[in-house]
Amino acid sequence: MEQKQFQAESKRLLEMMVHSIYSQKEIFLRELISNASDAIDKIYYKALTDDSISFNKDDYYIRIEADKEERTLTVKDTGIGMTKEELEDNLGTIAKSGSLAFKNEVEMKDGQEIIGQFGVGFYSSFMVADKVTVFTRALHSEEGYKWQSDGEEGYTIESYNKEDVGTEIIIQLKENADEENYDEYLEEYKLKSIIKKYSDFIRYPIKMDVTEQHPQEDNEEETVEVTEEQTINSMVPIWRKNKQELSDEDYEAFYQEKHFGFDKPLSHLHISVDGMVRFQSILYIPEQLPFNYYSQDFEKGLELYSNGVLIMDKCADLLPDHFSFVRGIVDSEDLSLNISREILQQDRQVNLIAKNIEKKVKNHLQSMLKNDREKYEKFYEAFGRQIKFGVYNDFGANKEKLQDLLLFYSSSEEKLVSLKEYVERMPEDQEHIYYATGESHDRIEKLPQTEMVKDKGYEILYFTDEVDEFAIKMLVKYDDKEFKNVSSGDLDLEDEETKKEAEKQKEEHKDLLTEMKEILGNKVKDVKLSTRLKSHPVCLSAEGDVSIEMEKVLKQMPDNQNIEATKVLEINNKHDIFKALISAHESDKDKVKLYTNILYNQALLIEGLPVEDPVALTNDMCKVMV
Ligand SMILES: Nc1ncnc2c1ncn2[C@@H]1O[C@H](COP(=O)(O)OP(=O)(O)OP(=O)(O)O)[C@@H](O)[C@H]1O
C-alpha cells in the first residue's frame, strides 16, 4: 500500500472546501452523481469516434446504496473509471480536473458537454465524511485500485481486484453532532429528494432501492413492504424534448411537479435559443396572483440549470421586476460558474439570457392580447398592476416596452381597451387621451368633470388603481397624444364663442368670485366660473402636476410629505345655485359665506376627499334649512 501526502496547498484548499465553499452540505451528492455521469459520458463520447468501444445505453447507470448499520453511503457508476495515474492526478491533487483535460483532449461537438471543470467537487464529500474510499477500474484495464483518505493528511492507494469497469465511492458518514444530523443522508426520502432536486435531469438512470407498502395479492386490505430498485431521476428534461411531442397536459404536469403554484398555468412558453448564448427554457404565466405576491416574502426568479444540473433555485437576475410573476426554468451550457457551482462568476451570459427572456415574455403577452383577448384579460386582472408598476418604476425606463400591454376601462366601450385601440378610435378633432380617476367605475361615471368631455363624444379611460395615474404621468404621451385628466384646469375644450361668453361673465361676477376666494383662503388657489359643468353645481379641478387622486394616494403613504393638489373651485353659472349666490352677494354677506363653505365641502365630497370640519358643515346645512 502506498501512503501519499496531499500537497501543502491542497491541504489548505481541502480545508476551505470542507468549511466554506458550499453553503449546503447536501450538494456533495450532486457532485458525486455529476462525476459519475461525466464518467459514463466519457465512454459515450469516446465510443462516437472509436469503433472498438460499443455503447449500449442500458448498461450504463448510477446506483446509490445506503447502509444504516455501517453508516455508509455508496455511489456506484459504470463509467470510464480511473487508472492509477488518474487516481493520483485527479483525486490526489485538488483543483485538478480530469474532466477538463478530457474535454480538451477529445474534441467535443455542440451539444456534447461534461459537467466537471474545476477539479474540486469530489472533495465536497468530506463535508459529511470521516473517510472516503474509492474503488475504481479504468476502461481497457485489467487492474483495479482502492484509494482511501480521511481528507486531512493524505491518502493511500493499493491494488484491488475490481470485477467491472467503473467506480464505487463509499462515504463513511461523520458522527452526528448537535447541529448536524448526518444520519439523514441514509434515509430514503432524503436521498430521493436531494436527487430529484439537483440531479433529476442527469441523462443516465440513478437507481436506488426503494421500500414501499403494496397491497397484498390475496388480500387487498392488507399491505406488505416491498423493496425494489427504482430509477429516481426523470433523465430527459422536458425542455429538451421537441415541442411538437408535448401536450398542454405535459406542461401542466411539469408546473405541478415543480410546485410553481397551486393554480394551473394560464399559459406557457417553450424557448430554445442558439445564438450568442445557448439556452433552453420553459416559462409559465400563472393563472392566479400568488398569495404573497405583494409582500416581502415573495421572491422572484427562475430555476437555473447548467447542463441539466440545478445551480440556483431562484435566479432573480433572469427576470425584470415587471415580469416577476413568471415562473419556470432555464438551462444553459454557456454559464460561467464559480467553483461551488452555486453562484455565477460573471453575469454577462445571465444578462444576455435575461434580455432574451424579457423580449420573449413581452411578445408572448402581446400576441395573447391580439389573439386570445379573454385569456389576456384574465392575465391582466391578476398581474396588470405589475405591468403598470413596470411603466412607472425606474423613472419610466421600461415604459415604451410595456405601454402596449396596458388596458383601461373605457367610458364608451364599457370594457377594457388598449391605448392603441383608444387612439385608433379618436375623432379627428380630439387632441388628447382623456382619463378620469376615482375609486370605482360607478363613482367616476358620476363625476361632474366627465360631463363636457363625454358631450364632445370623446372616450374617457377610467383609472381606479392607485398606480394608474402615476404610470400615465410617466408615460406622458402615447402615439404623440398627451394624456389629460378630465379634472385638470386646462381642458381647453370650449369653442371661441363659449370662451368669449365666459370672459364676459367672469368680468361681470368678478366681485362675487373674489369674495368667495377670500372666504376659502388658501384652501383653493382660485374660484372661477366653470365652462365644463352642465348639470352639477360645483366641482374641484387641479392645476399643475399633482391631481386630486394623486394627493389621496400620496397622503396614504407612510412617508407622505403632505403634497397637495393645487385646487380650483369651479361654479356652474347656469345652475340655480348661482342665482342664489348673486342675490346673497347683493344683500347678505353672511349667506355668501355660508353658501361658499357648503359648496366647497360638497366639491370635496364629490372628489372623495375628507371634509375638514364635518361638524361645521352639518351646522351650516341646518342654518340653510331653518
Ligand atoms: N466517478 C468517477 N469516475 C471517473 N473519474 C472520476 C470520478 N469522480 C471523479 N473523477 C475524476 O476526478 C476528477 C476530479 O473530480 P472533481 O469532482 O474533484 O472535479 P471535477 O468534476 O473535474 O470538477 P468540478 O469541481 O467542477 O466538479 C474528475 O475530473 C475526474 O477526472
Domain ranges of the chain: 3-231, 238-371, 392-486, 497-626
Q: Which range, 217-221, 291-295, 449-453, 473-477, is most confident?
A: 473-477
Topology annotation, domain 238-371: Ribosomal Protein S5; domain 2 (3.30.230)
pLDDT tens-place string over residues 90-130: 887 776 777 887 877 777 766 677 787 777 889 899 999 99
pLDDT in tens, 581-622: 999 999 888 999 999 999 999 999 988 888 989 999 999 999
- 90 CA distance to ligand 1 centroid (A)? 7
Flag whether 516 is marked binding. no
Instruction: Report the mean per-residue pLDDT for the chain.
Output: 90
* 98 belongs to an annotated ligand binding site: yes
pLDDT category, 7, cuts 50, 70, 90?
low
Ligand 1, atom 9, lies closest to the CA of 35
- pLDDT the model gives residue 346: 61
Asked whether the beta carbons of 418 and 479 are under 8 A apart, the reply is no
Distance CA 488, CA 432 (A): 12
Please tell me the distance between residue 34's alpha carbon and the centre of ligand 1 in angstroms.
8
| Superfamily holding 3-231 | Histidine kinase-like ATPase, C-terminal domain (3.30.565.10)
Please say whether the beta carbons of 162 and 170 come within 8 A: no
According to the annotation, is 181 in a ligand binding site?
A: no
pTM, 2 dp: 0.78
Report residue 343: phi and psi, to 5°: -125, 160
ipTM for the whole complex: 0.98
Output DSSP code: residue 18: I
Residue nearest (by alpha carbon) to ligand 1 atom 30: 98
Of the candidates 178, 211, 78, the one whose C-alpha atom is nearest the C-alpha of residue 137 is 78
How far the first Cα of the chain sits from its last, in Å, is 114
Say whether pLDDT at 461 is over 80.
yes
For 392-486, which CATH class?
alpha beta
Convert the pLDDT of each residue in 171-221 to its tens digit.
999 999 888 899 999 999 999 999 999 999 899 999 999 999 888 888 878
CA of 514 to the centre of ligand 1 (A): 88
Stretch 256-262: mean pLDDT = 85
What is the 3 state secondary structure string of 503-545?
Answer: HHHHHHCHHHHHHHHHHHHHHCCEEEECCCCCCCCEEEEEECC
Give percent above pLDDT 70 in the chain.
97
Q: If DSSP codes are grouped into helix, strand and coil, which group holds residue 341? A: coil
Write out residues with Cβ below 6 Å of ligand 1: 31, 35-36, 39, 77, 79-82, 90-91, 97-99, 116-123, 167
User: Which residue's CA is the closest to the ligand 1 atom numbered 8?
Assistant: 35
Taking 80 as the threshold, does the pLDDT of residue 18 lie above it? no
In whole angstroms, give the CA distance from residue 437 to residue 465.
9
Instruction: List 302's β-bridge partners, or say none.
Output: 315
DSSP strands (E only) in 287-432: 302-306, 309-315, 327-332, 407-410, 416-418
Q: Does domain 497-626 have CATH number 3.40.50.300?
A: no
Q: Report the percentage of the chain scoring pLDDT > 90.
A: 60
The residue among 169 and 333 whose pLDDT is bigger is 169
- Tracing cell 361658499 back to the chain, one arrives at 596
Q: Is 410 annotated as a binding residue?
A: no
Q: How far is the CA of 138 from the centre of ligand 1 (A)?
A: 14
pLDDT, position 255? 93
Instruction: Consult the annotation and say whether 544 binds a ligand.
Output: no
Instruction: Report how far ligand 1's centroid is from the alpha carbon of 460 (Å).
Output: 67
613 is in an annotated binding site: no
Which residue has a Cα nearest atom 31 of ligand 1?
A: 98
